[in-house]
Structure 1
């Protein structure tokens, strides 16, 4: 335990501590005085670490019951992250960290939904993956989770809610849901299973006029590969125009965002710009080898749940005039997080950069306004279902675009 917290203290300071401890063995009052003297001489970077180590030593020596060193370390890290005021900073035990990494790489045990916490504290289901226990149970986007296994979820954090919904493979979780337009709550029982999170689904919407459709659920592992394969298969079916659906796509891995964007953004063109506190501004460029990697009319569908990596892609398409955006204003998450794994398998994430879209625009807190704004008549309408007016308008827009659209990206847009 002490090695986890105090191991970062400078070697010279550690040597002084050892000397002081030997000199005052058994004299706790003098020991504290010497600690204070030593702490005052430590440099400003080491001093906070020394304070943590000293508190840990006092707890281990004087608390009325034996203290669990691992729990002390976990609590210290959690407290540091909470003090940042970063909504995206979270600490995970080794087991939790493995689960999060599995999710990012498209495999986890759960029911097959993505949940977001609103500003009002409600837990709203953002995405229901097809062919999952949640889909089979009739759960739909926009359903609100009221309780899990008869436990009300009010006041919980998002990670706490996720932990309640997840569980061992084959076990059953009971959810009480509220659905827009219905007065009575809905009770469902869902059996947890290993979820292979799908990146994409694709099909031809109009074979005669060559309108293809790709829906990307998340920028998780293999997203670039799967989108590339989808484009190749649609091209083989005669695709001349594409609708790329990012509704309810909450983001994912930055590397996949750059990879997918590079399937559309010409070589030598920027995709996004990252701004760090203590590093130079970094521009991430397209990896394409062609000036026209796609070169067909393109419409991107977006809504209020299109966030983060999805906004990186949408911003690049709009700023570089490679297509048109249809739907409603995006979420507005213009910051990037980094995951860090610690020595025992635990880990944490925190915000490490702000980003701007390809054209140099910040969208954090404001989102991206589409070229054509259109609402669906009901929030219960799922992408591709009857009544999906946004998709209907997207088809109309892509058919009205000239056949040589998807062009050279020479004239960036004026703003988000």
Structure 2
């Protein structure tokens, strides 16, 4: 059994379990982390898991008595042993009253693990399951096998290697399409507006999934925009490259967008935050026995100069590791938070890979902002509150980004 540490939010886990969009080939929501002992962070939490397991209760025989009766007497079909075991574990976990302590089945756990590593083997396309249980391509990834083979946004994948997938779970459909690089997968596709079905034979490849996107804003060429979608293993390297690239293009102020970022690795949160603050405590872990451990920002960050304007976009989807970053930026007065109150996920999970490759996430600590605030179920209120309505989203009117640009421009004007 391996213990590993991660910071995650339950809404992200829900994507693994039920799914709204995956990377075909594919990925899932991004959650996983390093093995215990590799990083200082994992060592810190790992200590609490080294105690000997408590003795099994003798009255657990009652469970088997009840199960034998159900199996022999129940009128309808009964679950198999695996389903029964998972159901029993989840029932116990519900009694804890903590939505972040949970069990993830092996298939979802495997997608979980590969996603945070930042690479997987497949065809490279973002997919979702529609209301009719059909697997729909949201977009093929630039330069990847799916795009090169001719898959298009809106395509409906009906079969994988001749097997019908309509009505299948998103996880199962994704796993059918994924596979070792160099192997071929055959997809049967319905393309709206096109008569008949299309057949695609696509050679799988190793797909890298970047967590950082960046650009110079056309409306303000001296402002660099960085979008961070997840705190993964490669995020800090991608962030550094984005900062350097934007500086080479003349960026003098920066907007960091962590809206709808569900979190990820504690180690990544510390590394990323260290690009903006230096030497100070950015987060403190607090265990239920009162012990605390502070984590200081690493030195040498690229944007620690307080004279460089920084605006951070947040919303209710900014959770966990995103809130570590937002909390540090806010409490240490490094930048201005713009948007909506964050999710409020201030707990740390120890992640165990069980013997059947399922995954058990156990809340072991809470974390505090530099000012000592526990934001769990509270969230962080931004300095400048800007609400984005559904109508504005549909009309692609990003008033939060517009406000962030205005603030950055004023700061630039004031420093010139």
TM class, shorter-chain normalised?
A: 0.5 to 0.7
Give the match for residue 341 of structure 1: 353
The answer for unaligned runs of 5 or more in structure 1 is 1-43, 116-127, 140-147, 152-160, 175-190, 406-416
CA distance in 2, matches of 1:173, 1:100: 27
Q: 1:380 offset after TM fit, Å?
A: 5.5
Give the match for residue 401 of structure 2: 391
Q: 1:239 offset after TM fit, Å?
A: 1.6
Q: Scaled by the length of structure 1, what TM-score is found?
A: 0.63
Give the match for residue 297 of structure 1: 309
CA distance in 2, matches of 1:284, 1:135: 45
Counterparts in 2 of 1:306-345, with a 5 A limit? 306-345=318-357
Give the match for residue 55 of structure 2: 46
CA distance in 2, matches of 1:380, 1:292: 32
- CA spacing shift, 1:149–1:264, aligned 2, 3 Å: same
Corresponding position: 1:87 with 2:83: no
**Partner of 2:393: helix, strand, or coil?**
coil
Give the match for residue 219 of structure 1: 231
CA distance in 1, matches of 2:171, 2:251: 42
Q: 1:347 offset after TM fit, Å?
A: 2.1
8 Å contact from structure 2 (residues 235, 272) kept in 1: yes
CA distance in 2, matches of 1:173, 1:250: 32
- CA spacing shift, 1:288–1:76, aligned 2, 3 Å: same
- CA spacing shift, 1:319–1:62, aligned 2, 3 Å: closer
CA distance in 2, matches of 1:165, 1:202: 31
- CA spacing shift, 1:150–1:59, aligned 2, 3 Å: closer
Question: Deviation per CA, 1:48-74, whole angstroms, max 9, x where unpaired?
Answer: 2x4336755996899759x97656654
Give the match for residue 254 of structure 2: 242
- CA spacing shift, 1:173–1:357, aligned 2, 3 Å: farther
**Partner of 1:136: helix, strand, or coil?**
coil
CA distance in 2, matches of 1:173, 1:315: 46
Q: 1:286 offset after TM fit, Å?
A: 0.6
Question: Deviation per CA, 1:167-210, whole angstroms, max 9, x where unpaired?
Answer: 42166899xxxxxxxxxxxxxxxx99987433011111159752
CA distance in 2, matches of 1:106, 1:47: 39
- CA spacing shift, 1:208–1:259, aligned 2, 3 Å: same
Corresponding position: 1:357 with 2:369: yes
Corresponding position: 1:275 with 2:286: yes
CA distance in 2, matches of 1:102, 1:259: 20
Q: After the TM superposition, which of the residue ranges 203-212 and 55-64 deviates more from structure 2? A: 55-64
8 Å contact from structure 1 (residues 329, 369) kept in 2: yes
Q: 1:330 offset after TM fit, Å?
A: 1.4
Of 83, 93, 112, the residue aligned with 2:126 is 112
Give the match for residue 28 of structure 1: none
8 Å contact from structure 2 (residues 329, 335) kept in 1: yes
CA distance in 2, matches of 1:198, 1:240: 24
Q: 1:389 offset after TM fit, Å?
A: 1.6
CA distance in 2, matches of 1:372, 1:62: 57
- CA spacing shift, 1:386–1:75, aligned 2, 3 Å: closer
Question: Deviation per CA, 1:360-404, whole angstroms, max 9, x where unpaired?
Answer: 11222222111111223545538xx95222111111101222689
Counterparts in 2 of 1:35-184, with a 5 A limit? 45-48=54-57, 50-52=58-60, 55=63, 73-107=85-119, 112=126, 131=141, 136-137=153-154, 149=166, 163=171, 166-169=174-177
Query: Which structure would you say has the larger RCO, counting Cα contacts within 8 Å and 6 or more residues apart?
Result: 2
